[in-house]
Structure 1
Amino acid sequence: MGRHAKTQANRDEVRVRILQVAEEHFRRAGHYKTSVAAIACELGMSRANVYRFFPTREAIITAVCRQTLDDVVARAFTIARSSASAHQNLLCILVTIHNINKERLASDRHMHDLIVSTMQKDEAALKKYIGELNLVLELVIRSGVKAGEFEIEDSAVTARVATSFFVSLLNPLLFEYCFGDQAASEKFLRIQIRHFLRAVENSCAT
Structure 2
Amino acid sequence: MDQEITIDVSGVSGQRGPADHKRRQQILQAADEHFRLYGYRKTTLADIAKAINLSTPYLYKFFDSKQAIGEAICSHCLGTILTEVEQSIAATRSPVEKMRRVFIGLESRGWRLLNEQRKMHDLVSASFEEGWGSLDRFKEAVFQIIRRIVVQGRESGEFERKTPLEETCRTIARMTELFFHPTLLEQAGKSQEEEAVAAANVVIRSLTA
TM range (shorter): 0.7 to 0.9
In structure 2, the partner of 1:47 is 56
What do residues 60-100 of structure 1 show as CA deviations (whole Å, max 9, x unaligned)? 12222222223323443444555521112122222121111
Which structure is larger by alpha-carbon Rg, 1 or 2?
1
In the alignment, does 2:137 pair up with 1:120? no
Aligned residues: 192
State the Cα distance separating 1:173 from its structure 2 match.
4.1
In structure 1, the partner of 2:23 is 14
Report if the CA contact (8 A) 2:114-2:182 is conserved.
no
State the Cα distance separating 1:39 from its structure 2 match.
1.7
Q: Please, which of 166, 180, 197 is the counterpart of residue 190 of structure 1?
A: 197
Q: What is the TM-score normalised by the length of structure 1?
A: 0.80
Map 1:1-206; keep pairs closer than 5 Å: 8=18, 11=21, 13-81=22-90, 84-122=93-131, 124-153=133-162, 154-177=164-187, 179-182=188-191, 185-202=192-209
What is the CA–CA distance in structure 2 between the aligned matches of 1:150 and 1:197, rounded to whole Å? 8
- RMSD across aligned positions (CA): 2.4
What is the CA–CA distance in structure 2 between the aligned matches of 1:10 and 1:63, rounded to whole Å? 13
What do residues 141-190 of structure 1 show as CA deviations (whole Å, max 9, x unaligned)? 1111122221224432221121122221143343333x4223xx211211
State the Cα distance separating 1:116 from its structure 2 match.
1.0
Report if the CA contact (8 A) 1:119-1:125 is conserved.
no
Choose between structure 1 and 2 for higher RCO, CA contacts under 8 A separated by at least 6 residues: 2
Q: What is the TM-score normalised by the length of structure 2?
A: 0.79
Report if the CA contact (8 A) 2:158-2:208 is conserved.
no
Identity %: 24
Report if the CA contact (8 A) 2:143-2:170 is conserved.
yes
Name the aligned partner's letter for residue 169 of structure 2. Answer: A
What is the CA–CA distance in structure 2 between the aligned matches of 1:157 and 1:88, rounded to whole Å? 21
Instruction: Name the structure with the higher helix share.
Output: 1
User: Could you say if the C-alpha distance between residues 173 and 131 of structure 1 is closer, same or farther in structure 2, counting changes exceeding 3 Å?
Assistant: farther
Unaligned runs of 5+ in 1: 1-6
